[in-house]
């Protein structure tokens, strides 16, 4: 059964689509950027920048990148990288591989991750495909992010509430995606010498539930 949920951002202008089909979740967000596609793509393919717009630019007590091991230079198809990310009561350990890299229109990577709790016990497994589509739009860029993901709960029975994946994908993940996308847009506009657009309110912070 397919379930489609529309999550509006704080100003009600952008819609984050969250679709569920069984255990598979699909998330989609579109955002305007004043910088040209070449600049946005340059940031996406330079994996070191992900540590900023996907990491240090996020509030401390939210899901964000903590570390990354990746080759230098623009990432191309087949490039692999490893990263860690904060989570409520634990840490994500991810391994990713670039699966599409067509400048300046598409950047995509596949991630397989493992969430470990504070005792080092495996709590969740994640398989996700992250795709960034870029198109020219009124002198700037229309950035469309999509993610297809499946989350597998681990551990003994009763350790997780059965609706935890729904909570994560309907509440936590949209907030993280929106915040990261806006950070990317802001960085691209600054790199293009445009500065970040004024008057855009901060994305609301969703603190992580235990185990998310």
Q: Give residue-wise pLDDT tens across range 36-65.
A: 999 999 999 999 999 999 999 998 778 899
Per-residue model confidence as pLDDT tens digits over 144-185: 999 999 999 987 655 566 788 888 898 889 999 999 999 999
Average pLDDT of 200-212? Answer: 41
Coil, strand, or helix at residue 183? helix
Distances (CA, A) of 100 to 129, 153, 161: 11, 29, 35
Is residue 170 domain-resident?
yes
Q: How many domains does the chain have?
A: 1
Is residue 201 domain-resident?
no
pLDDT at 155: 72
Is residue 97 domain-resident?
yes
pLDDT at 12: 44
Is residue 141 domain-resident?
yes
pLDDT at 210: 40
Is residue 111 domain-resident?
yes
Transcribe 35-48 into DSSP letters: S-HHHHHHHHH-GG
Give pTM, 2 decimals. Answer: 0.86
Residue 202, phi then psi, degrees to nearest 5: -65, 145
Which region holds residue 128: left if phi is over 0, alpha if psi is between -120 and 50, else beta?
Answer: beta
Is residue 179 domain-resident?
yes
Is residue 196 domain-resident?
no
Per-residue model confidence as pLDDT tens digits over 56-109: 999 877 889 999 999 999 999 999 999 999 987 799 999 999 999 999 999 999
Quickly tell me which residue has 């996308």 as its tokens.
Answer: 181
pLDDT at 13: 53
pLDDT(29) > 60: yes
Coil, strand, or helix at residue 173? helix
Bridge partners (DSSP) listed for residue 134: 143
Mean predicted lDDT score pLDDT of the chain: 86
The whole domain housing 150 covers 2-191
Is residue 160 domain-resident?
yes
Return all residues near 133 (Cβ < 8 A) that are at least 6 apart.
105, 106, 143, 144, 145, 146
pLDDT at 59: 87
Question: Which CATH number do you get for residue 57?
Answer: 3.30.530.20
């Amino acid at each position: 059964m397919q379930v489609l949920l529309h999550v509006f951002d704080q100003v009600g202008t952008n819609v984050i689509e969250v679709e569920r089909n069984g255990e598979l979740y699909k998330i989609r967000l579109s955002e305007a950027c004043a910088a040209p596609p070449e600049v946005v793509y340059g940031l996406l393919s330079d994996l070191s920048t992900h540590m900023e717009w996907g990491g240090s630019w996020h509030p401390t007590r939210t899901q964000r990148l903590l570390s990354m091991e990746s080759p230098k230079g623009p990432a191309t198809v087949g490039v692999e990288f490893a990263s860690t990310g904060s989570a409520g009561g634990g840490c994500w350990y991810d391994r990713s591989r670039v699966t599409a890299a067509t400048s300046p229109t598409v950047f995509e990577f596949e991630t397989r991750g493992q969430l470990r709790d504070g005792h080092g016990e495996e709590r969740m497994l994640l398989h996700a495909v992250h795709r960034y589509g870029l198109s020219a739009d009124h002198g700037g860029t229309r950035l469309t992010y999509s993610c297809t993901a499946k989350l597998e709960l681990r551990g003994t029975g009763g350790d997780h509430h059965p609706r935890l994946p729904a909570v994560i994908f309907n509440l936590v993940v949209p907030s993280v995606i929106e915040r990261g996308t806006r950070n990317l847009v802001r960085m691209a506009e600054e790199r293009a010498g445009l500065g970040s657009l004024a008057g855009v309110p901060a994305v609301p912070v969703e603190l992580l539930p235990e185990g998310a």
